[in-house]
Amino acid sequence: MSRFLSVLSRRPWLVAALVLPVVACGTTLWLAEEEGPSYQSPVRAPASLDAASTVVARVVTTTASMASRGELRGEVRWDHADAVPGLVRAAPVTPNATYAFETGETTATNIDVGKSPADSNIAASSTHVCLTARGAFACYTKGGELVSLGAGTTARPYNAQEFFNLSGILPVIPSMGGNGVKDGRVVFDPFRKRFFFLFQTRETPPASRLLIAVSKSEDPRDGFWTYADLPNQTNPDGTPAGQDYDRIGVNSTHFLVTNGMGAAGEIHFMYTAANLASGTPYTRGAWAHVLAQNAGPAVHQTTTTDAFWVNRDDASHVSVWAVRNGQVTRKTSAYLLGSNIGVTATGPISAPQRDDGTVAGGVPDVGFTNIGMDPQNVDFRNGKLTWVANESHVWSGLVSPSNVVRLVQLDVSSYFTTGVLPVGIDRVFGRSSAGDAAGSLFDYGWPAVATNAAGDIVIGTVRTNAAIFPELRASAWLAGQTDLGSSSLIGAGTASNRGGQYHMAGASADPTTSGVYLSQMFTVPAMPSGAWWKIRVNKLLGVNLPDILATSVTAPATVALDQTFNVTVTVMNQGDAVMPASTGKMYLTVFDRVNPSTDFQIAAFSVPALAIDASATIVVPCTISSSLGSLGGTWTIGPALDRTLVATEHSEANNLNPFLAGFHGNARVTFQ
C-alpha cells in the first residue's frame, strides 16, 4: 500500500510567556496565545426565552420494509467491552499529533474515487478508523493500513455505489460517470460499537434514497448490514424533492440523520439503531420545523435517550432542539453570541491562497462560504453540546474581514427542567501565529470538533492566506484550562487548491485512549492516480498503543492423541505503536470459542516484536496428551495472545476468538 505514515513528536510547542492586558468587560479580552484576540461568554446566561414545557412538534414514526435490506458478510468478530487504559493528560497548549497517516497516491489507495470536494468525515472505534470523502469510504487499522469491508471486498477505498451494489441494494445509476452517490458521512456508535455510514443517491426524485451501512462489529472487516431508505419528500409545490448535504449523529437509542431536501427544507430522521445494527426491521421517526432548517444532530458520547440538534438561527442566535418521548422541544439561548463585546458576525468569506500557477484566472480562493455559518458537527458529552462553525470577523484596528472559527459550548443539563441554556464557551479564533508579521491576516475555516472522555476539546481547521498553501491546524482547549491553546501545524498543502474545494473536516473521539482523530482534505501536486488531493488523518492527545490479533489459524484436518502436529498462526499488530515480543498459548475446546480459564492448554509459543501494521507467521508444535482422556469427534483449536500482558493494547479482547462467525477465527480438528 502506497501511503505516508509517520509517528510524530509528542513534544509541546515552546510558547513564550506574554504579559498582555486584561480589559474590563465589554471590550476584547487579550490572551497569551498565538491566534490573537478572543472573546468568551459569561459562565452562565439568563434563562431560556422558551418556556421549559414548550413542545413545538411531534415525531412521526413508520416501520420500514425489510425488502430494502442487504448484507455483506466478512471475517465477523464478536462484540466485546474493551479494556480502557488510564487517561493520559496533555500539556496546556495544543500538542503536536501523536500519530498521522495519509490516504495513498494510486487509484487503489486514494479515497478520491468519491470525487471532490472531499467533505471528509472520520470515525474511530477501539481498533479501526473509517473515512468518507464525497461518494466514497475506506477503513484503516489504527496504524493506517487499509482493510477490507467484508466478504467479496478487498483492502481499498470503495465508491459507495459499488459497495452497495455488492449487497444487492443499489442498481447501477448511469449518471455522474458511475458516481451515483454523494455526501458520505460516518459516525461511530459507542453504545453498540458499530460504524454507521450514510450516503445520498443521485437517483431521479422521487426515487432518490438514503443508503445506510452498519458494521457488524467495531472491526469493519466483519461485514455490514446495508439499507436503502426512501425519504419520499416533496417540495412546497408538490414536486418531488431532491436531497443534499446530510449530517448525522447517534444516541443510545437512535441513528440521527438530518437530510437536506432542497426547496422542501431539511427533515430530521431517527432510525432505531439497535435494529440497524442487527439486520432486523427498523422504525424510522421523522420531524421537521420551519425554524430548524439548519439544525445539525449531535454525536452523543454519553448515554441519554434524549436526542439533541443545534440550529444557528442567525449570526448571534442559537437554538437547541431536543426529542424526548416523541415530543420535539426548542430552547433558544438568551445570550447572544459575541454580544459581550458588541460584535455582530457576518457570513463566511472566501480567502486568498498562494498560487502555484495551476489554477486558471489568477490567485485562487479557498471558498469557506459553501457551508455558511451552520454548525458543522455537534458533540454531546456529560450534558454539554460543543460545536464549531465558520464566520467572518474584523479584528480591532483592521479594516478587512478575515474568516474565523467560532467555538461554542452549551450546557443542556437543565434543558428539560428549568429551561436554562447557559453558554459556557463562546470563542472566536483565527488571526495570525507566532512569527507572522504584525497585523497580518490569516483565514481559518471548515472546522470540526470532538471532545474526549477527559473533557478536552479538539478542533481541526484549514488556515490560509495569499502567502501560503492551505495548512491543516489543530487547536485544543484542555480540561481545566482557561482558554484555547496555541494551535499546532498538523499538515500543509503543497499545491494550489482547485476551485476552493476543501470543505468540511472530520473529528472523532477515540473510545480507547482519550485521543481525538481529525481528518481533512489537503492539496498536493498531481499524483500517479491523477488526483490533486489526499485526506490526512491526525491523532491528537491520548496515547499510542499496539493491538495484536490472530488473522489466520490453520491446523491439520485430523489429529491423534500423543502425536505432535503443527498449527500455523499469523499474528498482526494493527495498532499505532510497536508491540514488544510476547507469549501466546494454544488451547483445545469442544466449543467454537476458546476460554483460557477452562480449556486445555496444548502449547505455548513466542511472538516476535511487531512493528506497526507488521505480521508474523508462527508454526506452533502441539501435542494433545492422552492423559486428558479418550477424546473423539471434532474439537476447536485456537490461540490466546499476550498471555503475560507485556503491553496494554487498544483492544485486549481480540487477543483470542477474534471473529463472530464460523469458529471465531479458530481451527477445527477431528480425532482419528
- In this structure, what CATH number is given to the domain that contains residue 581? 2.60.40.10
Task: Spell out the residues 6+ positions from residue 441 whose beta carbon is closer than 8 angstroms to its own.
Answer: 395, 398, 400, 402, 431, 432, 465
Q: ω before 528 within 30° of 0 (cis)?
A: no
- Both 395 and 370 in one domain: the answer is yes
- Both 387 and 488 in one domain: the answer is yes
- Residue 6 falls inside a structural domain: no
> Out of 89-98, 193-202, 212-221, 407-416, which region has the weakest mean confidence (pLDDT)?
89-98
Rounded mean pLDDT of 147-153? Answer: 92
- Residue 18 falls inside a structural domain: no
The pLDDT of residue 36: 37
| Residue-level length of the chain | 672
Q: Give the pLDDT confidence of 214-267 residue by residue, as tens digits.
A: 999 999 999 999 999 998 888 888 888 888 889 999 999 999 999 988 778 899
- Both 583 and 524 in one domain: the answer is no
The pLDDT of residue 132: 97
Does the structure show a pLDDT above 50 at 636? yes
CATH number for the domain harbouring residue 203: 2.130.10
Task: Spell out the residues 6+ positions from residue 315 whose beta carbon is closer than 8 angstroms to its own.
Answer: 337, 338, 344, 345, 346, 347, 373, 391
3-state secondary structure of 419: coil
Work out the pLDDT band at 64, boundaries 50, 70, 90: low
Work out the pLDDT band at 4, boundaries 50, 70, 90: very low
- Residue 36 falls inside a structural domain: no
Contact 386, 397 (CB under 8 A): no
- Both 492 and 571 in one domain: the answer is no
Q: Residue 304: exposed, middle, or buried by beta-carbon count in 10 A (0-12, 13-18, 19+)?
A: middle
- Both 608 and 498 in one domain: the answer is no
Work out the pLDDT band at 626, boundaries 50, 70, 90: very high
The pLDDT of residue 660: 85
Cα torsion 152, 155, 160, 164 to 10°: value is 10
Task: List the beta bridge partners of residue 299.
Answer: 250, 379
Task: Spell out the residues 6+ positions from residue 399 whose beta carbon is closer than 8 angstroms to its own.
Answer: none
Query: Which domain, by its residues, includes 655?
Result: 548-671
- Residue 311 falls inside a structural domain: yes
- Residue 204 falls inside a structural domain: yes
Separation of alpha carbons 153 and 170, rounded Å: 16
The pLDDT of residue 8: 32
Backbone angles phi and psi of 70, in degrees to 5: -135, 180
- Residue 48 falls inside a structural domain: no
- Both 514 and 582 in one domain: the answer is no
Separation of alpha carbons 481 and 474, rounded Å: 16
The pLDDT of residue 363: 78
Which of 488, 516, 540 terminates a domain? The answer is 540
Highest mean pLDDT among 10-19, 300-309, 310-319: 300-309
Task: Spell out the residues 6+ positions from residue 78 whose beta carbon is closer than 8 angstroms to its own.
Answer: 217, 593, 657, 658, 659, 660, 664
Contact 410, 310 (CB under 8 A): yes
Does the structure show a pLDDT above 80 at 37? no
Contact 125, 218 (CB under 8 A): yes
Does the structure show a pLDDT above 80 at 368? yes
- Both 132 and 159 in one domain: the answer is yes
Which of 521, 540, 559 terminates a domain? The answer is 540
- Both 519 and 560 in one domain: the answer is no
Separation of alpha carbons 367 and 183, rounded Å: 18
Backbone angles phi and psi of 68, in degrees to 5: -95, 5
Higher per-residue confidence, 255 vs 83: 255
Contact 363, 351 (CB under 8 A): no
- Residue 613 falls inside a structural domain: yes
Contact 267, 294 (CB under 8 A): no
- Residue 47 falls inside a structural domain: no
- Both 464 and 582 in one domain: the answer is no
- Both 196 and 268 in one domain: the answer is yes
- Both 133 and 178 in one domain: the answer is yes
Tally of domains in the chain: 2
**What does each C-alpha distance from 268 to 10, 290, 503, 555 come to in angstroms?**
41, 12, 23, 52
Instruction: State pTM to two decimals.
Output: 0.89
- Both 403 and 282 in one domain: the answer is yes
Residue 508 identity (one-letter amino acid): S
